[in-house]
Amino acid sequence: MSLAALVAASTFIGCKPKKMGHIAVDSDAAQQVYVAPGQYDEYYNFVSGGFSGQVSVYGLPSGRLLKVIPVFSQNGENGYGYDENTKPMLNTSFGFVPWDDSHHTQLSETDAMYDGRWLFINANNTPRIARIDLKTFRTAEIIELPNTGGNHASPFITCNTEYLVAGTRFSVPADYEDGDVPIDKYKEKFRGHISYIKVDQKTGGLSLDFQLSLPPFNYDLSHSGKNASADWSFFTCYNTEEAHSLLEVNASQNDKDYILAVNWKKAAEHARKGDFTIEKAKYAHNVFDESTLQAKSEILDQVKVIDTKKFNDFLYLIPCPKSPHGVDVDPTGEYIVGNGKLSANLPVFSFSKIMKAIEQKQFEGKVDGINVIKYEAALHGEVQSPGLGSLHTEFDAEGNAYTSFFISSEIVKWNLKSLKIEDRIPTYYSVGHLSVLGADTKKPYGKYMVAYNKITKDCFLPTGPELCQAAQLYDISGGKMKLILEFPLIGEPHYASAIAASQVKPNVLLFTKLEDNHNPYKIKSAQEARVERHGKRVDVYIAAIRSRLVPDNIEGINVGDEVYLHVTNIEQEWDIPHGFAVKGANNAELLVMPGETCTLKWIPNRAGIIPYYCTDFCSALHQEMQGYFRVSPAGKSTPIKFTIDDKLPSQFNATKPTTQSGAAKTGHNRK
């Protein structure tokens, strides 16, 4: 098919038959995905929320939504990014950014296998990487990346979690240069930066180790090698035309773009030897401290940049047909698939051939000092006409690859060695990413595959102009791909990572022990509840316990005071959160987990009686969990007064039967 025809075809999205009745689903499909009440799913599946900026957690094979983990966006469900504790997590060098776009999940690995410790994900728009702790399912850390625009080729992990790599989608003038330049000076003034973010092996702590300054291409996606190729990271580059307008046409001129191969161990050696310049930068580093339950944000101000025009003995360009999107490395580390969006064939490169080509200097030239390896010298072979608009490829443990085709809306299974097509199956509709569970490890689980589809019209009941996107689950254990389930998703799914529940579940934190809560505003019992005035600032220490908020009647607050409401949930039991809402508070509410302390800032702006209450139905007498503020006009000196019932038990008086958590505890895993 000609390029023009391909581009034309790409504007048709999901030509779809009229009825869903045409989808053939085996009669035993329901049984395969049915997880009975009280039973657990076999896998946690972490799915990027795309434009929601979050991560959602689904159980597989049931497809049930277990949780939304807030990462790069404020979250009205639990106050993330609204309460004083987590607001600093969304701080950037641009100030507070309440909503971003998250694309690629990565699970931490040891020896190219998931170790169940952390999940990483990128913010695409205001470039950042987050680390989520899989003990708490909370965002533990966010680091911003300077010199980057559109942090899309990010974050991709090396096989012992040494580094997360992140490439810029938009090349831009570096932050340390005068960026006030005419945009048509693109070729001279713009550069692409790739970041290597070091991961502390014990704590998971992130630090920006060094960056590579590269030609001004668009760096789209990445994956790191395994086994023999473990020291290498691979990136797709499109717009090697270095166009800066109408990219749809101008960046689709070259017959081949590139895959960039970087030996990151050698790059790190250069960084150690001092082959870099220290450049001025401004980027935020935000950490949530699990012991104080508070986040801190600091702005860092420099970065090591290696200029690849000067130091380039550790990186190579490999021609790759037509605007490649995903670059995917198979479980052995030998095969590297470049997914050319506009290419008729699918090229598969061989790592050992690439090494040989480098040794024998089989180069066809240089770009900005970087050697370009001859296409044929690096190529294992091409899968002939597999489909239209290839985006991503994943792998099973038996030497098969599965490629998603957006335009022809299908997944094609082919053999890595023979490059022969073995099976194909339609998706409903226009699949983007796909995930064969465990495909980015050296031993994929290989049982299920999930397609993440961009278009769902008519898959579900219509919900107005805005439709949810969908995942489709396939059984791939029997040679042929079999569709067994379809379920709606939150936001736009890009990449997703699934891990066996048995690797995560035993370590999950059920609640924080009060003695481990080192928040400076915590109180240990209802008797410590109090109100303190320091000038215009008022600190209210509130205990939440079934079924009271203590104190329950507070006087002596004035209009315009800065009131900090520190709510400690003094329950010591799993699954007993308390909420907190005060009428007219125009920033947030709170949801406080057992043993934890959360702070809401409230500036009352009218005089009168203002009620507050618990927002989480925690007990039979939840509706009784309430209190009143008396707000006096500014300047009036109403004395501070509040009520604490002396007869309160210091331990909770449970009035809510805890059958739900009891059932969960005695439930059995399916396997």
List contacts with ligand CUA (CB under 6 A): 544, 578, 614, 616-618, 622, 625
- Picked from ligand CUA, ligand RUQ, none, the partner binding residue 341 (CB below 5 to 8 A depending on kind) is none
Q: How many residues does the chain have?
A: 671
Closer residue to ligand CUA (CB): 275 or 624: 624
Smallest gap from Cβ 620 to ligand CUA, in A, equals 10
Smallest gap from Cβ 401 to ligand RUQ, in A, equals 16
The whole-angstrom separation of Cα 377 and Cα 374 is 5
Closer residue to ligand RUQ (CB): 493 or 595: 493
Smallest gap from Cβ 339 to ligand RUQ, in A, equals 9
Closer residue to ligand RUQ (CB): 433 or 622: 433
Closer residue to ligand RUQ (CB): 104 or 522: 104
- Picked from ligand RUQ, ligand CUA, none, the partner binding residue 270 (CB below 5 to 8 A depending on kind) is none
Closer residue to ligand CUA (CB): 544 or 554: 544
The whole-angstrom separation of Cα 329 and Cα 332 is 8
The whole-angstrom separation of Cα 662 and Cα 654 is 14
Q: Which residue is nearest to ligand RUQ (CB)?
A: 432
Smallest gap from Cβ 311 to ligand RUQ, in A, equals 29
Closer residue to ligand CUA (CB): 437 or 614: 614
Binding to ligand RUQ (CB under 6 A): which residues in 289-328? Answer: 325
Smallest gap from Cβ 579 to ligand CUA, in A, equals 6
The whole-angstrom separation of Cα 423 and Cα 173 is 45
3-class DSSP state for residue 240? coil
Closer residue to ligand RUQ (CB): 170 or 186: 170
Residue 341 lies near ligand RUQ (rule: CB under 6 A): no
Task: Name every residue whose Cβ is closer than 8 Å to that of residue 202 and which is 6 or more positions away in sequence.
Answer: none
Mask 455-474, x = binds ligand RUQ (CB under 6 A)? --------------------
Binding to ligand RUQ (CB under 6 A): which residues in 431-450? Answer: 432-433
Task: Name every residue whose Cβ is closer than 8 Å to that of residue 646 and which is 6 or more positions away in sequence.
Answer: 527
- Picked from ligand CUA, ligand RUQ, none, the partner binding residue 117 (CB below 5 to 8 A depending on kind) is none
Binding to ligand RUQ (CB under 6 A): which residues in 113-172? Answer: 152
- Picked from ligand RUQ, ligand CUA, none, the partner binding residue 104 (CB below 5 to 8 A depending on kind) is ligand RUQ
Smallest gap from Cβ 522 to ligand CUA, in A, equals 17
The tokens describing 181, both together, are 């330049």
- Picked from ligand CUA, ligand RUQ, none, the partner binding residue 163 (CB below 5 to 8 A depending on kind) is none
Phi, psi of 224 (to 5 degrees): -100, 160
Whether residue 612 is preceded by a cis peptide bond, meaning omega within 30 degrees of 0, is: no
**Cα dihedral 302, 304, 308, 314 in deg (nearest 10):** -150
Closer residue to ligand CUA (CB): 160 or 615: 615
- Picked from ligand CUA, ligand RUQ, none, the partner binding residue 616 (CB below 5 to 8 A depending on kind) is ligand CUA
Give the Cβ contact number of residue 660 at 10 Å.
Answer: 11
What is the residue type of 173? P
- Picked from ligand RUQ, ligand CUA, none, the partner binding residue 580 (CB below 5 to 8 A depending on kind) is none
End-to-end Cα separation, the chain, in angstroms: 47
Cα Dmax for the chain: 86
Residue of 119, 243, 259, 391 that binds ligand RUQ (CB under 6 A): 391
Residue of 87, 104, 117, 578 that binds ligand RUQ (CB under 6 A): 104
**Burial state string for 277-310 with b = 16 or more CB within 10 A and e = fewer than 16:** eebebbbbbbbbebebbbbebeebeebbbbbbee
Closer residue to ligand RUQ (CB): 270 or 325: 325
Angle at 450 between CA 32 and CA 21, to 5 degrees: 65
Closer residue to ligand RUQ (CB): 49 or 604: 49
- Picked from ligand RUQ, ligand CUA, none, the partner binding residue 433 (CB below 5 to 8 A depending on kind) is ligand RUQ
Closer residue to ligand RUQ (CB): 152 or 566: 152
Closer residue to ligand RUQ (CB): 47 or 379: 47
The whole-angstrom separation of Cα 435 and Cα 520 is 43
β 608-613/626-632 pair status: antiparallel
Residue of 103, 226, 380, 578 that binds ligand RUQ (CB under 6 A): 103
Phi, psi of 515 (to 5 degrees): -70, -15
Smallest gap from Cβ 517 to ligand CUA, in A, equals 18
Smallest gap from Cβ 48 to ligand RUQ, in A, equals 8
Size of the site for ligand RUQ (CB under 6 A): 10
β 346-350/379-383 pair status: antiparallel
The whole-angstrom separation of Cα 470 and Cα 490 is 9
Pick from 427, 241, 238: nearest CA to 341: 238
Binding to ligand RUQ (CB under 6 A): which residues in 485-504? Answer: 494-495
**Burial state string for 414-437 with b = 16 or more CB within 10 A and e = fewer than 16:** bebeebebeebbbbbbbbbbbbbb
Burial of 27 (0-12, 13-18, 19+ CB in 10 A): exposed
The residues binding ligand RUQ (CB under 6 A) are: 103-104, 152, 325, 391-392, 432-433, 494-495
